[in-house]
Amino acid sequence: MPNSGGTIIFSVSGHVAKPGNYELPMGIPFAELLEVAGGMQGGRKLKAVIPGGSSCPVVPAETMLKTNMDYDSVKAAGSGVGSAAVIVMDETTCMVKVLERLSRFYMSESCGQCTPCREGTGWLNRLIKRIMAGQGRREDIDLLVQVANKIEGHTICALGDAAAWPVQSFIKHFRHEFEYMIDHGGRSIVGAQQVAA
């Protein structure tokens, strides 16, 4: 495997039957990795994967299932192998809530030394919280992306970039979930689909 030799320890978490650490050759197809981890919990449908730890961009299921777990392929899928901490999310997952959780993590992990991260991570988290509280506005979605863009590349360390990438990718791939929540006073598209089904 060019650029990606040897094995890597995948730390698979989330909605899989057997979460855990698996040392496997690089370049293994994601579908196989999923099988090693016992497949989806309760046989539910895969929705999205963060392939390289919480700071890496999220990848929708259809792309991920066609991707091999090596540096170049995951990069081509729009994310990165990163720490190989693979976060697997099924169809019951509300992507707005996930992003809120991730942004809360980065807000509380920001050391506060440099401006964009200190001020920006809190802004991101508050925006998402407001959307979840039913107080969101359509323009908040673009604002989220813009705030993330203003953090990215402007900080001393990589935590700023790490806080920005999930926001950019979640909105890129799951914008409709944010829009739904804003339009429906904070109700998640996930619950709505289950009710409809």
Among 5, 38, 112, 191, binds another protein (CB under 8 A): 112
106 or 180, CB closer to another protein?
Answer: 106
Q: What residues between 41 and 70 interact with another protein by CB under 8 A?
A: none
Burial class (CB in 10 A: 0-12, 13-18, 19+), 23: exposed
Residue closer to another protein (CB basis): 7 or 113 = 113
Using CB under 8 A, which of 3, 7, 21, 113 touches another protein?
A: 113
CA angle at 153 for the pair 54 and 107, rounded to the nearest 5°? 45
From 23, 32, 35, 109, residue interacting with another protein (rule: CB under 8 A): 109
Which residues contact residue 92 at a Cβ distance below 8 angstroms, ignoring those fewer than 6 apart?
Answer: 15, 44, 190, 194
Per-position x/- string for 132-171, each x denoting binding to another protein as judged by CB under 8 A, each - no binding: -----------x------xx-xxxx---------------
| Cα dihedral across residues 36, 37, 41, 42: positive or negative | positive
The reply on whether position 107 binds another protein by CB under 8 A is yes
Q: Least distance from C-beta 99 to another protein, angstroms?
A: 16
Span from 45-53, 77-85, 105-113, 186-194 in contact with another protein (CB under 8 A): 105-113
Closest approach of another protein to the CB of residue 186, in Å: 16
Exactly one of 18, 45, 66, 126 binds another protein (CB under 8 A); which one?
126
**Cβ 13 to another protein shortest distance, Å:** 25
By CB under 8 A, name the binding residues for another protein: 107-116, 118-123, 126-127, 130, 143, 150-151, 153-156
